[in-house]
Amino acid sequence: MKTTIISFPEKETGKIGRAGGKFGTKAGNFSFFKLVWNFPILFLGIFWTVYFLLDLIITLLLLQLSVEDYSIPLFHWLGGFFMMAMYIGLVLPLFFKQRKRILAMIILTGSGVVFIILKYAITAGYNALGDISVRFIVYEFLRLFQYLFITGLYWKMTQDMEIQKQNLELKFEMETLELERRAMKMSPHFFLNMLTISIHKATQVIPDFWDIYGDLIKLIRYSFKDYDLPNSLEDEVSAVATFFRCQSKRFRSMAVDFQCNVPRELAKSLPFPKLCLLTVIENLFFYGVYSDVDSPAVVCIHLIADISGVNTLFFKVSNQIDTSKIERGHGFGLNALKNIMKSQFGKNFEMKIEEKDLHYSLEMTVCYGNSTITQNRTH
């Protein structure tokens, strides 16, 4: 037996956690990480400053060494930052984006040599280095290489993330265009009005014509109803009843036990998202057996109010599974139903789906609370 129980916790609103990575200010929404993202050199400057201060603290406190002249560490800090800024802002773009690799290598080599010469001059000028040797040159080049290596990795990371961002924006734009393209259609009111006129003309010749197609017109009008308009439980239940009347004209041997106990006046005051019950019932005719008199499908819709005035909607569909259609699955409709009902009712919505021995059952419960709700949260 396969059983699925779906319930949704109550949403928390009005609070934003600090873990989100944004620092709010009274002047407006300020994101420190967004600022760093837009200006990568700012991150490198912060990183380099922290490294400089940490190196200075270790030298003074842990190693207990004195600094005779602070111009040397200041040059080490400012010169290193200048090298990183030039590397990420000029050399890397020239080398990878503009393909001017010779020029980029000349600038990198020249600035590196200038950095080493200036540091050597400052160090020798204050007699901080007694014996200038090849070891000093190699050490400084290795230190410079470490700076540039970290800077290059950071630049590569930001470029990859920027490409991913552009790809996501392009994908979003394409999906938006696709939705807009699908939405470009003639007004449904035109088709409904023309269909109504045609049926009216046909009724003048065949009086029973309206009895056959009147329910179809009602169902089409409901399906084309604007989602921004309020929709009540009574609207949905009436559409379900109309749907069954249409199906009874389509299938003369239809075996479906439809049970409905929904007070009309009360249902008018209760909101319900459009087509959610109809989606489940439609699945019955897509994937289920609905013509077996010995094992009829069952559809129940009950709205019950207890003594405290709490209104609860009980909905159930039970049917045998048509083995010839079992590979189709439940499609997009059931997933959309769960998302819409979750958005509308939150923790007051619960759904249970059960499949056992080619028998399918779906039960849905919606608790409206002890008062009617006039606002429809689905639009």
175 and 263 together in one domain = no
Here the CATH number for the domain that contains residue 363 is 3.30.565.10
Whether residue 374 is predicted with pLDDT greater than 90 in this model: the reply is no
Q: Identify the residue whose tokens are 């991150």.
A: 43
284 plus 150 within the same structural domain? no
User: Over the stretch 175-219, which tens digit does the pLDDT of each residue have?
Assistant: 888 777 766 666 677 777 777 788 777 877 877 777 777 888 888
* DSSP SS3 for 264: helix
Q: Which of 146, 166, 182 is the last residue before a domain boundary?
A: 182
Q: Please check whether residue 239 lies inside any domain of the structure.
A: no
Q: Tell me the one-letter amino acid at 138.
A: V
Residue 209 domain-assigned (yes or no):
no
Question: Where are the alpha helices (H) located in the chain, listed in sequence order?
Answer: 32-38, 40-57, 71-86, 92, 101-125, 134-183, 188-205, 209-223, 233-250, 264-268, 276-287, 331-345
pTM given for the model:
0.53
Give the pLDDT confidence score for residue 10 in this predicted structure. 45
Beta bridge partners of 319: 360
Is 275 part of any domain?
A: yes
Residues 258 and 365 reside in one and the same domain: yes
Residue 339 falls inside a structural domain: yes
Q: What is the mean pLDDT of residues 58-74?
A: 72
My answer on whether 177 and 284 are in the same domain is: no
Q: How many residues does the chain have?
A: 379
Does residue 14 lie in a domain region? no
Return the pLDDT at 42.
76
Q: Which of 139, 159, 182 is a domain's end point? A: 182
Domains in the chain, number: 2
Asked whether residue 269 falls in the same domain as residue 172, the answer is: no
Q: What angle do CA 4, 277, 279 make, to 5 degrees?
A: 80
235: closest CA among 279, 188, 270, 281?
Answer: 270
Q: Are residues 257 and 174 in the same domain?
A: no
Is pLDDT larger for residue 152 or for residue 24? 152
Range scoring the smallest mean pLDDT among 40-49, 119-128, 334-343, 358-367: 119-128
C-beta of residue 263 within 8 angstroms of C-beta of residue 277: no
Q: Is residue 377 part of a domain?
A: no
Give me the residue label for tokens 């041997």: 253
| 270 shares a domain with 150 | no
The answer on pLDDT for 240 being more than 70 is: yes
Q: How far is CA 331 from CA 27, 183, 282, 283, in A?
A: 48, 21, 11, 9
Residue 44 confidence class, pLDDT cut points 50, 70, 90? confident
Rounded to 5°, the CA angle 212-214-220 comes to 120
pLDDT at 129: 52
Range of the domain at 280: 253-369
Mean pLDDT over all residues of the chain? 78
Boundary (domain end) residue, out of 122, 148, 182: 182
Q: Per the structure block, which two tokens stand in for 186? A: 């003639």
